[in-house]
Structure 1
């Protein structure tokens, strides 16, 4: 029986094993967050390698003619259709993935196996959504074609017993007949083994629009208060001056379910994300805001914009530099009332080895020992060296941070 050339046989099994690896890894990438950055780079590298090997495989088909088909009729037509579909998959999946990376909001450099830079395709941003859809559809179509191809090979070998599979073996060896198809299983298992354990999904809920409305209302209330205070007689000021807080200010325990999010403009669009891990220590009497003692610590490695390779960029030196500066810390002593329920705290933000003055605005709702907090701050990212590379050129100079949580007095 005429066999395929040895180079065609090598390319067939190598591509099959890599496709199995890609399928195993691709299923999990979206849930890995920043921890999936290195794996995403590997996924892209192997995808481009599959593209190159597929082009070589097509060239070999014309250089070394393949054996004549053994089936005709509808079975032969189906076999040809599956083979053609597999080539579309092996070319289309890497190309749509390349297009997807090239049109992402944040341009993430790709180094093939950490060595060879892959240029971005000159495509408009409008291609991003169609590329994502096509890449996802091609993945599922590829899995179906892969299964049909394997089923056809097993049918020929075990039901028809025509020895067709020997055409894709360099020699007629039962050991190779088991080992080479086994590479596909090895590729899939390896793809699952190297996956890190998924972390619990970050709380995606950000501060609701009502928080923005509350802040606007607070600003109006502040203006009204200023006018009203100007009209008050001096005796009222003196009475307020004599009033003293009763007892020490309470500690407030932040309740589960809160969020700290961020957003920044990027070439006319907005990139939004949040921090999954943070802590806040708050001491404050709402009636006497000057008693406030606030400390918020944010785990920068928990930053996510919902995309694993962009999250990996956030952790790098161009943005947060998590390896050297794992936390951002905001501290403030004292606050001032800006309206009926509005406050402003001026303190210090320490981020990426830089400490600078920073103020936050927030509102309190509720009464007694249970309060809801919603607020925001505007941070000049360049002051802290955040976004200092080529992929940050389209980002707006200021980042909005917004937060919301419930707290109980202890």
Structure 2
């Protein structure tokens, strides 16, 4: 039986293994969020490799003679249709993926295997939905065609006994007959093995704020007070005891369901997202806001704008640099009243290794031990090195942060 050329055989099995890997990884990418950023980059690199190898395979088809078809009729027509569909898939899927990345609001740079930069296609952002839908549809069609192609080859070789698989073997070797198809299974398994471990399940109330301990009295103040008390006359001590000390400000526990969100302009559009994990310690008497002590910690890895590509970009060094700086911390001592139920707290924000002055504004509604808190802040991202790359040039310099939650006094 006439065989394909050795180069055609090599390209066939190389593309088949890469496709199997892509299917295995791509199946889980959408559920990984920021944890899958590195895999998204690898997915794009392999996709472009498949495109290049497919174009080479098409050129080889016209350069090297191919074996004649082994079956005619409707079965032969179906086989040709499956082959044609596979070529369209192997070209269309990488191109729609390329278009998808090129039309995203946040331009995520692509380096093929971390070395060769891939420029973005000059497409309008309005084409993003079409590219995303086309890429997803082609993926499912490709999986179906891949399965039909494998089933057809096995039918010919084992059920019809015409030895069709030998045409795709460089030599007639039973070992190769097992080893080369086994590459497909190895690629499928490898794709599953390199997926990140499942993210830990969030607690029942991930945004609940931990109660704050009472503020410690500085040691020098405590010693001075003790000395003054010991030196006072009995009469002065009796008078001091008669004076009632003011009650300490209450600590507040934030209830489940609170949110911290952010929004920033990008080339005439707005990118909005939120942080899924954050904790805080708050002490404050609303009638005496100068008593406030506020500390909020945000898990930057939990940032999401609802798109896995962009979430991975947020975690990278260009934006939050989560690997080196996993948390942002805002602290403030004291607040001032700016209206009937509105306040301003001036403090500091530590983000991505920098600590800068930062203020927040908030309002309280409700009464007694239950209050609803709504507030906002405007953060100059460049002061913290957030958005310091080429993909950030169209992003506005100020990021609007908003928060809302219910709190109960303890």
TM range, smaller chain? 0.7 to 0.9
Distance 1:371 1:174 in 2: 76
Distance 2:75 2:287 in 1: 82
Determine the C-alpha separation between the residues in 2 that align with 1:33 and 1:271: 16
Bigger drift between 73-82 and 24-33 goes to 24-33
Give the structure-2-normalised TM-score: 0.86
Summarize deviations over 1:342-381 as a string: whole Å, max 9, x none: 2222221122232222221222233332333222111111
**More divergent stretch after superposition (361-370 vs 106-115):** 361-370
SS of 2:376's equivalent in the other structure is strand
Q: How does 1:7-406 map to 2 (within 5 A)?
A: 7-199=7-199, 246-406=246-406
Whole-angstrom CA distance in 2 between matches of 1:174 and 1:124: 52
Deviation at 1:159, TM superposition (A): 1.7
Q: CA RMSD in A?
A: 2.0
CA gap 1:371/1:60 in 2 versus in 1, 3 angstroms: same
Within 2, Cα distance between the matches of 1:44 and 1:362? 44
Q: Which moved more, 1:362-371 or 1:106-115?
A: 362-371
Whole-Å Cα distance in 2 between the matches of residues 173 and 406 of structure 1? Answer: 71
Larger of the two Rg values belongs to structure: 2
Q: Secondary structure at the match of 2:123?
A: coil
**1:2 alignment partner in structure 2:** 2
Classify the secondary structure of the residue corresponding to 2:30: helix
Matched length: 371
| Mapped partners of 2:33, 2:352: distance in 1 | 21
**Cα displacement (A) at 1:304:** 2.0
Measured after TM superposition, the shift of residue 318 of structure 1 is 2.1
> Quick check: 1:341–1:363 contact (8 Å CA) kept in 2?
yes
- Equivalent in the alignment of 1:407: 407
Give the drift of 1:338.
3.1
- Other structure's SS at 2:289 match: strand
CA distance in 2, matches of 1:181, 1:21: 14
Compute the displacement of 1:245 (Å): 9.6
The answer to whether the Cα contact below 8 Å between 1:329 and 1:350 also exists between their aligned partners in 2 is yes
Deviation per residue, 1:21-75 (Å, 9 max, x gap):
1011111112212221111111111000000000011011011121111111111
State how far apart, in whole Å, the 2-side matches of 1:187 and 1:103 are.
30
1:246 Cα deviation (Å)?
Answer: 4.7
Deviations 1:239-278 (CA, angstroms, capped at 9, x unpaired): xxxxx99511111122333221111010011111122222
Partner deviation per Cα, 1:136-183 (whole Å, 9 max, x = no partner): 000000001011111111211222111111111112222211211111
Matched-pair contact (CA < 8 Å) for 1:378–1:400: yes
Partner of 2:362, secondary structure, is: strand
State how far apart, in whole Å, the 1-side matches of 2:31 and 2:338 are: 42
CA contact (8 A) 1:253 1:407 kept: yes
1:286-307 CA deviation, whole Å, 9 max, x = no partner? 2222211001111222222233
Unmatched segments (≥5 aa) in structure 1: 204-243
Larger displacement relative to structure 2 (280-289 or 322-331): 322-331
2:186 and 2:378 map into 1 onto residues whose CA distance is 50
Name the SS for the 2:247 alignment partner: coil
Tell me: higher relative CO, structure 1 or 2? Use CA pairs within 8 A at least 6 residues apart: 1
Cα distance 1:131–1:201, how it changes in 2: closer, same or farther (>3 A)? Answer: farther
For 1:390 and 1:300, locate their aligned partners in 2 and report how far apart those are by CA, in whole Å.
21
TM-score (norm 1): 0.86
* Structure 2: runs of 5 or more not aligned: 204-243
